[in-house]
Amino acid sequence: MEKRNPFFFTADDADQLARLEAADRANEYLYRVLDIGQYMLQSGAEISRVEDSIRRLCTSFGAQRTDVLTITSSIVVTIYAPQFGAVTQTRRVAGQQYDLHRLELLNQLSRRICTQYLSLEETERALEEIRNVPQYPFGVQLLTYALISASFSLFFGGSAMDAVASGLIGVLLRYLDRVIRQLEANAFLSALICSCVGGLLAASSVALGLGESVDMISIGNIMLLIPGIPLTTSLRDMFSGNTISGLLRFSEAILLALTIAFGFALVAALM
């Protein structure tokens, strides 16, 4: 008779097969759960929300124990139940695009999965729907940039003409940012170029008589460009116990914010 390692396949074959099938299903389910976690993280959810949702989702489909670790751009989940043993998956999450509407939909979906026990197909269909929800049209987005720059220029004490100049420059800068990012330049280079160009445009619009104060025009544009939301989210992450993620995001946001302010200030000081 063939010799066998005594630690493997000691259970009878039917039992073993059922276990493997259960593990397969668990793996497939976990993949969808990670999809939801990934989209949440990309849409701008804080770490504790992502981990909490993943934990609830896994419990709802029968995991006895769930261990989740989320660090800025990666999620690791291990689930355990006697039916399928331990199943682990990891996910690397790249690129963030704040979309609070999508976050809201994802939150609703994960609640629905937990209370109504959606099947895999239903979950997949719902995820696909969320993926295809349209964003605001391009024209509205351009107006948004102008609105933000103009109102913050006024907010920090600029005149009406400053606000107009800041609004126009804001639209150009966001467009420039998009073009540079399509060339796959890194975020810091893009920030430095955008802020220097922004500073130059602010100085030249004052020279041309559109606007009065380079500082006020620039501040409106800085508010548009700086990662203010990651900055506050990361501090919240740190205070709620997710120190690693918080610190990583915080230093990234601080560096970016400093780079942007530096670019504007440099041009303003040289002019």
Report the interface residues with another protein, using CB under 8 A: 44-46, 49, 98-104, 107-108, 135-136, 140-141, 144-145, 147-148, 150-152, 154-156, 215, 218-219, 222-223, 226, 228-229, 231-233, 235-236, 238-240, 257-258, 261-262, 264-266, 268-269
Q: How far is the CB of 243 from another protein (least distance, A)?
A: 13
Nearest in space to 49 (alpha carbons), one of 67, 32, 37, 64: 37
Q: Toward another protein, which CB reaches closer, 117 or 239? A: 239
Q: How far is the CB of 217 from another protein (least distance, A)?
A: 11
Token pair, residue 168, equals: 């126009």
Q: How far is the CB of 18 from another protein (least distance, A)?
A: 34
Q: Toward another protein, which CB reaches closer, 10 or 232? A: 232
Long-range contact list for 89-93, CB < 8 A, 24+ apart?
A: 89/27, 89/30, 89/31, 89/34, 91/34, 91/37, 91/38, 93/38, 93/41, 93/42
Q: How far is the CB of 197 from another protein (least distance, A)?
A: 16
Q: Toward another protein, which CB reaches closer, 79 or 166? A: 166
Q: Toward another protein, which CB reaches closer, 30 or 206? A: 206
CA angle in degrees (0–180, nearest 5) for 90-32-50: 65
**Cα–Cα distance between 49 and 111 in angstroms, integer?**
12
Q: How far is the CB of 205 from another protein (least distance, A)?
A: 17
**Cα–Cα distance between 106 and 112 in angstroms, integer?**
10
Q: Toward another protein, which CB reaches closer, 30 or 177? A: 177
**Cα–Cα distance between 42 and 93 in angstroms, integer?**
7
Q: Toward another protein, which CB reaches closer, 85 or 157? A: 157
Q: How far is the CB of 49 from another protein (least distance, A)?
A: 7
Give yes or no for a contact between 34 and 42, defined as CB atoms under 8 angstroms apart: no
Residue type, 205: S
